[in-house]
Amino acid sequence: PIKLYPASSCDCHCWVAAFVKMKEFIYVWWPYIFAVATIMLQAVVDPAECVWPPKLDLSGQQAALLAKTPVWLCTAGPTLIGPFLLNFMARKRNLSAMDPQSLMWWHVNAWWFHTGCDVFSGLYQIMPVLTELYTHMSPIHVKERWHPEREHLDCAYGLELFVEAPFALWLVYLFMMQDHRR
């Protein structure tokens, strides 16, 4: 038989072990990877018009604008840094593989997807770039808040603000404490 890879002392079990490690990494970190991807898109997608493929602003000006915006720093900062701290604490406390994944999921959702994206971009419309992208995706966002045509969106955003994000943070706490209520 012809081998397409160089001969080595490592046989099939090394590839299986590497695959299992990669699978575990993706299982735990995929919410973070997804959040980082949306943050990167926010830094480069030109929100001026809605076209496919999207126009990119690779000058760095848009990313610099984000880095100077308090609302972005208050949501993207914990989103980008928090998972590393949570993963460190999970390893220190010897949590199961499922618990760090849950920590990652609830943390990223609370800070980025519920608060940064939906509340600040959809409801309050103060998040740079994403607010314009939300308006392109759903033009009803140009109406004032609680307008009859967009109140269904505002109700969903309110649910995220007052229920989903706080409970997500509560679940992060419960998982870190290994509380039976989690």
- Return the H-helix or E-strand segment holding 79: helix 70-92
Predicted confidence at residue 16, as pLDDT, reads 81
Per-residue pLDDT 10s for the chain (182 aa) are 554 555 555 556 777 888 888 998 999 999 999 999 999 999 999 998 888 899 999 999 999 999 999 999 999 999 999 999 998 999 899 888 789 999 999 999 999 999 999 999 999 999 999 999 999 999 999 999 999 999 999 999 999 999 999 999 999 999 999 888 87
Burial of 35 (0-12, 13-18, 19+ CB in 10 A): buried
Radius of gyration for the chain, computed over Cα atoms and rounded to the nearest angstrom: 20
> According to the model, what pLDDT value does residue 51 have?
86
Q: Confirm whether pTM is higher than 0.95.
A: no
pLDDT for res 21: 87
Residues 6+ apart with CB under 8 A from 152: none
**Given this model, what pLDDT does residue 9 score?**
55
Q: What is the pLDDT of residue 165?
A: 98
